[in-house]
Structure 1
Amino acid sequence: MGSQDDQLHTPILESMQRSSSTGSTFESSSELEKVLSDLQLPWLRRLRTATWIELKLLFRLAAPAVLVYLINNAMSLSTRVFAGHLGNLELAAASLGNSGIQLFAYGLMLGMGSAVETLCGQAYGANRSEMLGIYLQRATVVLTATGFPLTVIYVFAKPILLLLGESSAVASAAAVFVYGLIPQIFAYAVNFPIQKFLQAQSIVAPSAIISAATLAVHLLLSWVAVYKLGMGLIGASLVLSVSWWIIVGAQFVYILISDRCKYTWTGFSLQAFSGLWEFLKLSAASAVMLCLETWYFQMLVLIAGLLKNPELALDSLSICMAISGLLFMVSVGFNAAASVRVSNELGAGNPKSAAFSVVLVNLVSFIIAVIEAIVVLSLRHVISYAFTGGATVAKEVSDLCPFLAVTLILNGVQPVLSGVAVGCGWQAFVAYVNVGCYYVVGIPLGCVLGFKFDLGAKGIWSGMIGGTVMQTLILVWVTYRTDWSKEVEKAKQRLDKWEDKEDQPLLKD
């Protein structure tokens, strides 16, 4: 047998093996494109068949993704609960450290991690499997480097909080809590690229199982550290950091031993250190896009503290934001699913499937959001009693529930469209849209309604809803006007740009 023939046939055999190892995802994706392109089928039957195929693909991604985000939130929430049992000062410190400083790092790292989501998703759809591992490593390098300046912010947490007007006692306690979260920064730097690497391959269930198991370990370790060892706030935050590193380690072990990652992870490579500047620019655009969205409604609470009766406004808004934040995890799960589905289809060269996926994921998420809004409105008079027994706060929450319902409905569409943007690589464009709609229109309009027209929290929230509506309408219009065949070509050009020449196979289609 000739060695030249062996060399020529090896890439073809490897490509066939890779396609087989990806399971039913590629098969279903290809089947979806065939169904949508088959004009001989009756329109209704074509729609019904395509919807069934897409729903199976969608919920296989979205359900575990929602679970992962809910569990990760539950770990952070349980840490605050343990801190709260130490005393009111400790609860305030943990809440401030978590909402003020840790949330900033979380949003920044998660946003930067979405860059690898675009590239990995499109590379996987194009069956350029070997590049996923390179993208994963590049993202980890960039995010780890970002972790060092973030560490400086954590170290100087106390003077920063004092500068923001917090009391010396709360700032000191919050700083202690934040010090224990420093290892968590670098866990984020590794976890988010790994998470996006797995999601791009429609591998989501293992992450959900790992997160659920880690939550149980986290609760046990927190109980031991806080109550048995008496480590206080620093113990609670250190356990949270350890728990995140457990998730990172378990997911990486899965990558190493799983046959599903056999061709996407081929080992460590020095190529991870090439093209870092371009990767940093894409990551920065992703981070700005997500952070502007994350911080937007945090500003609502901050501005409400300047109202005439700030305590009542803050209590009622914090309850509404807690409910919104919990249900927002559902939208985040669909955001991840939309990003994966669109990037995979674009990478695979399936424009009809990409467009159909966009429509269906938005429709499903919107229906779920409407159901959430109806439930909230039906429970508007009693929902606050899950958080506090105050009748005054309950009445204020009841008055704010219509605004909460509108926000929930918008959250059924807006985050999903952001996921579509990540799948297409539109992060920089969406960042500009967010700045204009949120910070040039939404917040100023809210301040005018809240303070000038004396509408209080309702006015502030109304203005910010206006900004979200404007942003959503712009994204809907841009998505509607998208030429998906051109997006397929752009995805191919992006992959050709990012793929290292020495990594390309010997034979190409």
Structure 2
Amino acid sequence: MGSDAAAVSTVREAARMTWEESKRVWGIGMPIAIAGLSIYAVGSVTTIFVGHLGNLPLAAASIGLSVFATFSLGFFLGMGSALETLCGQAFGAGQVSMLGVYLQRSWIILAVAALLMDGWRGWSMAAFNDMWAFVRLSLESAVMICLEIWYLSTITVLTGNLQDAQIAVDSLGVCMNINGWENMIFIGINAAISVRVSNELGAGRPRAAMHAVIVIIAESLLIGLLCMALVLIFRDNFAIIYTTDLELQHAVSKIAGLLGLTMVLNSVQPVVSGVAVGGGWQGLVAYINLGCYYVLGLPLGYLLGYKFNYGVGGIWAGMLCGIALQTLILLFIVWRTDWNAEAALASSRVQKWGGTDGTKPLLEDD
């Protein structure tokens, strides 16, 4: 294990640390974001084309793309995210040989094809050791991710029962389609901060992990504020891309403020979720998501939308309260985190799950 990052005590040192950490994070996150944007563009452009066929086809496309695809994706994406915690910490600790073992365990659990990687050394009986702990972390990851991914998709489901459901679903679909472009960027950042935190904790470098978290939260917030500003500036115009219907354009303009606020919250929330994955906090975050999203946000959105007759704006605003509370709680947890203790826990996890096949670290200090 290498020495930890130096303490930051001057503005110049802070600037240097920010620059170096930004290069690391964006070096990991940018390719993932570009890949995500490329894939997302297919569905987004499809929605644009369908929108010019009429409001009803646009509503159907919005439901299909934002609800059904999302619900089917969430569980397996979550189950696989356990590898982000374990592989990242094992790599940071120099236990490269365990990457293949962890992959095999995930293969066994998910029953999907395993991909060859640098850490693959063929099948190992170590893949079957301590399987329940791996299953538990995978399930915690799946629950955490599903509760996050499915939450915003339920807005479309609730909106479908409003009086003017077609316009409501269409306006929400346009906004969610715009929001999806930003989400693809933060999927990359989420993965990058997860890798950075897990690597540094596994390597026994708690201060470096803390620096990564501080830098990327600040940069992500700036990106979110920029996106919100663009949405507010063009709130009366961007719906033209999707439809020529003036009523729908006006409906989109009315809820554009909520879209801007969503973009700010969704700039920070994926980062703190990525920190949670990197640190192995999935179980804790799953409980937080359950309480904030489904105990507070969803009922509040229903009350505002239906009982107080605020329509789609009320549903969205209520559910944003759940996201805001979850983000604040996670930020507080990150702020109060004892990174030295987290590094020790990561080391213990790697020793417990990584030393059972008799292999030695491939990356050792000189």
Counterpart of 1:480? 335
Structure 2 residue 351 is matched with structure 1 residue 380: no
Residues 446-490 of structure 1: CA deviation (Å, up to 9, x unaligned): 111111211111111111111111101100100000000000001
Counterpart of 1:59? 26
Match of 2:121, SS state, is coil
How far did 1:120 drift?
0.3
Determine the C-alpha separation between the residues in 1 that align with 2:98 and 2:39. 28
Counterpart of 2:168? 313
Asked if 2 retains the 8 angstrom alpha-carbon contact of 1:36 and 1:50, the reply is no
Structure 2 residue 93 is matched with structure 1 residue 126: yes
* 1:81–1:268 distance in 2 versus 1, CA, 3 Å: farther
Asked if 1 retains the 8 angstrom alpha-carbon contact of 2:141 and 2:283, the reply is yes
Determine the C-alpha separation between the residues in 2 that align with 1:92 and 1:308. 14
* 1:271–1:101 distance in 2 versus 1, CA, 3 Å: farther
Match of 1:502, SS state, is coil
Greater helix content: 1
Amino acid in the other structure paired with 1:409 = V
Amino acid in the other structure paired with 1:276 = M
* 1:472–1:448 distance in 2 versus 1, CA, 3 Å: same
Determine the C-alpha separation between the residues in 2 that align with 1:90 and 1:387. 12
How far did 1:505 drift?
2.2
* Total equivalences in the alignment: 364
Determine the C-alpha separation between the residues in 1 that align with 2:339 and 2:239. 45
Asked if 1 retains the 8 angstrom alpha-carbon contact of 2:56 and 2:166, the reply is no
Residues 253-308 of structure 1: CA deviation (Å, up to 9, x unaligned): xx4xxxxx2xx222233433333332111111101101111111111111111112
Determine the C-alpha separation between the residues in 2 that align with 1:51 and 1:429. 29
Fraction of identical pairs, as percent: 44
Asked if 1 retains the 8 angstrom alpha-carbon contact of 2:55 and 2:170, the reply is no
1:275 pairs, out of 130, 136, 143, with 130
Determine the C-alpha separation between the residues in 2 that align with 1:101 and 1:388. 23
Counterpart of 1:249? none
Asked if 1 retains the 8 angstrom alpha-carbon contact of 2:51 and 2:242, the reply is no
Amino acid in the other structure paired with 2:314 = G
Determine the C-alpha separation between the residues in 1 that align with 2:240 and 2:325. 33
Structure 2 matches for 1:137-152, cutoff 5 A?
A: 137-144=104-111
How far did 1:92 drift?
8.4
1:50 pairs, out of 17, 20, 39, with 17
How far did 1:101 drift?
4.0
Structure 2 residue 16 is matched with structure 1 residue 35: no
What stretches of structure 1 of length at least 5 have no aligned partner?
Answer: 1-25, 145-188, 195-251, 256-260
Structure 2 matches for 1:312-461, cutoff 5 A?
A: 312-461=167-316
* 1:395–1:141 distance in 2 versus 1, CA, 3 Å: same
* 1:330–1:361 distance in 2 versus 1, CA, 3 Å: same
Counterpart of 1:229? none
Determine the C-alpha separation between the residues in 2 that align with 1:58 and 1:305. 40
Asked if 2 retains the 8 angstrom alpha-carbon contact of 1:338 and 1:357, the reply is yes
Asked if 2 retains the 8 angstrom alpha-carbon contact of 1:289 and 1:431, the reply is yes
Counterpart of 1:109? 76
Residues 13-56 of structure 1: CA deviation (Å, up to 9, x unaligned): xxxxxxxxxxxxx9xxx68x34337xxxx622221221121111
Asked if 2 retains the 8 angstrom alpha-carbon contact of 1:341 and 1:354, the reply is yes
Determine the C-alpha separation between the residues in 2 that align with 1:462 and 1:91. 23
Structure 2 residue 319 is matched with structure 1 residue 467: no
* 1:445–1:97 distance in 2 versus 1, CA, 3 Å: closer
Residues 40-84 of structure 1: CA deviation (Å, up to 9, x unaligned): xx6222212211211111110111110122223345567889999
Determine the C-alpha separation between the residues in 1 that align with 2:41 and 2:107. 25
* 1:481–1:388 distance in 2 versus 1, CA, 3 Å: same
Structure 2 matches for 1:182-331, cutoff 5 A?
A: 189-190=112-113, 252=116, 255=117, 261=118, 264-331=119-186
Determine the C-alpha separation between the residues in 1 that align with 2:326 and 2:167. 30
Match of 2:123, SS state, is coil
Determine the C-alpha separation between the residues in 2 that align with 1:499 and 1:357. 25
Amino acid in the other structure paired with 1:434 = N
Asked if 1 retains the 8 angstrom alpha-carbon contact of 2:141 and 2:282, the reply is yes
Asked if 1 retains the 8 angstrom alpha-carbon contact of 2:5 and 2:208, the reply is no
Determine the C-alpha separation between the residues in 2 that align with 1:419 and 1:501. 28
Match of 1:412, SS state, is helix
Determine the C-alpha separation between the residues in 2 that align with 1:69 and 1:472. 23
Amino acid in the other structure paired with 2:38 = I
Determine the C-alpha separation between the residues in 1 that align with 2:155 and 2:138. 27
Asked if 1 retains the 8 angstrom alpha-carbon contact of 2:59 and 2:169, the reply is no
**TM score, norm. by length of structure 1:** 0.66
Residues 195-219 of structure 1: CA deviation (Å, up to 9, x unaligned): xxxxxxxxxxxxxxxxxxxxxxxxx
* 1:506–1:462 distance in 2 versus 1, CA, 3 Å: closer
**TM score, norm. by length of structure 2:** 0.91
* 1:382–1:96 distance in 2 versus 1, CA, 3 Å: closer
Structure 2 residue 39 is matched with structure 1 residue 72: yes
* 1:431–1:269 distance in 2 versus 1, CA, 3 Å: same
Determine the C-alpha separation between the residues in 1 that align with 2:277 and 2:68. 25
Asked if 2 retains the 8 angstrom alpha-carbon contact of 1:36 and 1:353, the reply is no
How far did 1:310 drift?
0.9
Amino acid in the other structure paired with 1:53 = E
Choose 310-319 or 133-142, whichever is displaced more. 133-142
How far did 1:426 drift?
0.3
Asked if 2 retains the 8 angstrom alpha-carbon contact of 1:35 and 1:46, the reply is no
Asked if 2 retains the 8 angstrom alpha-carbon contact of 1:450 and 1:460, the reply is yes
* 1:139–1:67 distance in 2 versus 1, CA, 3 Å: same
Determine the C-alpha separation between the residues in 1 that align with 2:261 and 2:130. 43
Counterpart of 1:8? none
